Amino acid sequence: MIGLKHIKEDIENIAKVISTVLNVDVTIVDEDLIRIAGTGHYKNKIGEKVSERSAFGISLSSGKNFIIENPREDNICNMCKIKDICNEYAEVSCAIKLDEKVYGVIGLIAFNEIQKNNIVQNKIKLMDFLTKMADLICSKIIGENKSYELKVETRKLQMLLNTMDKAVVSIDKYGKIDKWNEKFVEIFKLDSNLRSLNISSILSFIDINNLTDQKNSSSFTYSKQDYTFSGIYNANPIMIDNAIQGYVFYFVDNLSTIKDFNEITANEYGVKFSNIIGNSPLMRKVKTKANIASKSLSTVLITGESGTGKEIFARAIHNNSDRANNSFIAINCAAIPDALLESELFGYEEGAFTGAKKGGKVGKFELANNGTLFLDEIGDMSIHLQGKLLRILQEREVEKVGGSISIPVDVRIIAATNKDLEKMVRCGEFREDLYYRLNVIPINIPPLRERKEDIPDLLEYIISKYSNKLNKRIYKIDDIAMDKIFEYQWYGNVRELENVIEYSINMCSTGIIRYDDLPEKIKNNDKSFMYDNYEKITPLWELERREIIKALDKFKDFKKDKEKVADSLGISRATLYRKLKEYKIVSK
């Protein structure tokens, strides 16, 4: 709480004014009876404590004002310790009182008859004057209290700003900085004292002339010496009486976004190799190889039929690596149209194309910085994007769509496909240089039909999972149903097994899954579901394309190579050129 000692300079000035006007010695004590100010006889006694039994002590405790005309004889002096040696001729005590609280006492002391007469003869005017001086001191206390409360609130606000996970800065309407938090200084690597600096002189991507009276949002890239990062900022106008008086900016750097994403997804996808079901020799071999791959920074290519669990292995590799605390970003290259896949992978700047989101977008490569990017169904990526992906793998830099700045990225790539990439390379459908970049550590996940000894463990897990989900108590599969499950070839692998068991649990009316609960295709062992991905019939156009590429490669060093190619294929040169265009074959 504010007391007289907090306005000591003001108290001393008021004491001098009173002494000059009344020509008497003045001393002012605070609520602890410590002399805060003094003139004349009391000038050298500042800091001393006055007795509680003195006139000052009585005035302080009672809150009353009084004049002692005859010291040593007045009743007030009866309890004073120095009564017998007191050399005062008269004394005045005026309480400094505010809202029923006494903050101190103004004291006037006469040490001769002239001073005494001056006090006694002007008692009413004197007390009125001292009361006004006490009120002046009270007004100073009120002002200091407000100033103190403002400092406390300012400090609270600053502490609140510093606890925010976003960088925050406020400016006046001219762009001068007035408040900021520690995060702002940290992410932009600035000096701690920014007051009155213009925001545009520090952050060149901000132009206050382009800000509006609405919430403004945009992406940015900040560079300072060797330090570069990207993010998004929002500018909120400070409106008073419909006029802009400044802006509050808050910034979200992509690293913070990634950290938040990691914390959200860590529990949901915390897959370890121990969580992958399967103890068959084939699966143990795959797990061992994947565990070795997790300790490396090299790219991994996971192959296997649909439903074998390629993404689960990719997540386990990431979670077992030194990058486990950073992001794992997955994207399915087959699920997104080629026109959108580029912006998803690399991000885009605001205004890069029609419909581009205000503020732009952070790409998957930036989100995966210092972590892992999982490219599922990599075999479905277009040749155009394959070239861009290869450049990023080589240069370790990404450039947003519509952007001009290369952003350094440190990303480990894990790719997956159910296609034969070697065959696609031979057919010119997949870049050979990219294939070798990706296929550093190949991992093939065997289909379920080749490791049927894993089925019992998988069934135990799947039954428990869907029993809980469907609120049923299923604990067993009878022998006949189990035989049918083992007979089936499971070309849809674990995903198909899950589908069958979920259906069976829905149909089951007891605690045991029986033959009748199984889908018809399992009971009949429907041959129409039995196919081999690696022995399927090749379309004629694919065979034709392959033979054209083979002929081009064979005669590429001949002078009349196109003529020889056409002759070897039994077609005219015109037909050959039409086929080259149709199949998008680039000849050398």
Read off the amino acid at residue 275: N
In this structure, is residue 154 part of a structural domain?
A: no
pLDDT at 378: 94
The rounded distance, in Å, linking the Cα atoms of 40 and 15 is 11
Q: What is the pLDDT of residues 357-399, one digit of tens each?
A: 666 777 888 888 888 999 999 999 888 889 989 999 998 888 8
Closest alpha carbon to 213 in 191, 235, 192, 232: 235
Say what the pTM is.
0.57
DSSP 34: B
CATH of the domain at 239: 3.30.450.20
Which phi and psi angles does 280 have, rounded to 5°?
-70, 160
- In this predicted structure, the answer to whether residue 531 has a pLDDT above a threshold of 50 is no
In this structure, is residue 126 part of a structural domain?
A: yes
Mean pLDDT for the stretch of residues 324-331? 88
pLDDT at 289: 96
pLDDT at 514: 93
Tokens 């067993």 — which residue? 476
- In this predicted structure, the answer to whether residue 256 has a pLDDT above a threshold of 60 is no
In this structure, is residue 577 part of a structural domain?
A: yes
In this structure, is residue 80 part of a structural domain?
A: yes
Shared domain for 464 and 316, answered yes or no, is: no
Read off the amino acid at residue 439: N
pLDDT at 95: 93
Cβ atoms of 50 and 80 within 8 Å: the answer is no
In this structure, is residue 372 part of a structural domain?
A: yes
Quickly count: other Cβ atoms within 10 Å of residue 420's Cβ. Answer: 15
- Give percent of the chain above pLDDT 90: 35
pLDDT at 534: 45
The rounded distance, in Å, linking the Cα atoms of 250 and 378 is 38
- State both tokens at 539: 């379309």
For the chain, give the mean pLDDT.
Answer: 85
Rg for the chain (alpha carbons), in Å?
43
CATH of the domain at 30: 3.30.450.40
Label residue 350 by pLDDT band (50, 70, 90): low
Shared domain for 204 and 249, answered yes or no, is: yes
Write out the H or E segment, with its range, that includes residue 33. none
- In this predicted structure, the answer to whether residue 117 has a pLDDT above a threshold of 70 is yes
The rounded distance, in Å, linking the Cα atoms of 184 and 186 is 5
Label residue 414 by pLDDT band (50, 70, 90): very high
Residues 6+ apart with CB under 8 A from 513: 463, 474, 476, 477, 478, 481, 501, 504, 505
Shared domain for 487 and 436, answered yes or no, is: no
Q: Residue 301, Cα to own-chain centre: how many angstroms?
A: 31
Which phi and psi angles does 49 have, rounded to 5°?
-100, 135
Name the packing angle between helices 338-346 and 383-395 (round to 10°).
Answer: 10
End-to-end alpha-carbon separation of the chain, Å? Answer: 88
Looking at 209, 232, 256, which one is the last position of a domain?
Answer: 256
Mean pLDDT for the stretch of residues 350-359? 65
Looking at 83, 115, 145, which one is the last position of a domain?
Answer: 145
Higher pLDDT, 338 or 442: 442
Mean pLDDT for the stretch of residues 328-343? 86
pLDDT at 51: 84
pLDDT at 69: 85
- In this predicted structure, the answer to whether residue 233 has a pLDDT above a threshold of 90 is no
Mean pLDDT for the stretch of residues 227-240? 82
How many domains does the chain fold into? 5
- In this predicted structure, the answer to whether residue 213 has a pLDDT above a threshold of 90 is no
Label residue 529 by pLDDT band (50, 70, 90): very low
In this structure, is residue 550 part of a structural domain?
A: yes
Q: Which of 23-32, 247-256, 510-519 has the lowest mean pLDDT?
A: 247-256
Shared domain for 195 and 110, answered yes or no, is: no
Which phi and psi angles does 300 have, rounded to 5°?
-125, 135
Mean pLDDT for the stretch of residues 43-65? 88
Shared domain for 11 and 106, answered yes or no, is: yes
In this structure, is residue 264 part of a structural domain?
A: no
The rounded distance, in Å, linking the Cα atoms of 484 and 525 is 8
Per-residue three-class SS string for 217-269? EEEEEEEECCEEEEEEEEEEEEEECCEEEEEEEEEEEHHHHHHHHHHHHHCCC
Shared domain for 463 and 519, answered yes or no, is: yes
Looking at 221, 256, 291, which one is the last position of a domain?
Answer: 256
pLDDT at 545: 85
CA angle, 437 then 438 then 442, to 5°: 125
Tokens 């089925």 — which residue? 455
Domain containing 568: what range?
540-582
- State both tokens at 175: 């762009």
Residues 6+ apart with CB under 8 A from 550: none
Neighbouring-strand partners of residue 172: 246
The rounded distance, in Å, linking the Cα atoms of 108 and 88 is 10
Label residue 588 by pLDDT band (50, 70, 90): low
Name the packing angle between helices 123-163 and 113-121 (round to 10°).
Answer: 80
Q: Which of 88-97, 255-264, 460-469 has the lowest mean pLDDT?
A: 255-264
Shared domain for 284 and 411, answered yes or no, is: yes
In this structure, is residue 157 part of a structural domain?
A: no
- In this predicted structure, the answer to whether residue 455 has a pLDDT above a threshold of 90 is yes
Q: What is the pLDDT of residues 161-205, one digit of tens each?
A: 777 778 899 999 899 998 888 888 888 888 888 888 999 998 988
pLDDT at 267: 47
Write out the H or E segment, with its range, that includes residue 13. helix 8-22
Shared domain for 453 and 503, answered yes or no, is: yes
- In this predicted structure, the answer to whether residue 483 has a pLDDT above a threshold of 50 is yes
Shared domain for 124 and 184, answered yes or no, is: no
DSSP line for 514-567 = -GGGS-HHHHTT-GGG---TTSPPPPHHHHHHHHHHHHHHHTTTSTTHHHHHHH
Shared domain for 452 and 439, answered yes or no, is: no
Mean pLDDT for the stretch of residues 81-95? 82
CATH of the domain at 477: 1.10.8.60
Tokens 């700045």 — which residue? 405
Shared domain for 62 and 82, answered yes or no, is: yes
Shared domain for 39 and 79, answered yes or no, is: yes
Mean pLDDT for the stretch of residues 495-505? 94
Neighbouring-strand partners of residue 98: 101
Read off the amino acid at residue 105: V
Closest alpha carbon to 514 in 489, 566, 477, 539: 477
Label residue 114 by pLDDT band (50, 70, 90): confident
Among positive and negative, which fits the CA dihedral 49, 52, 54, 55? positive
CATH of the domain at 291: 3.40.50.300
DSSP line for 329-365 = EEEETTTS-HHHHHHHHHEE-TTSSTTPPTT-EE-HH
Higher pLDDT, 491 or 533: 491
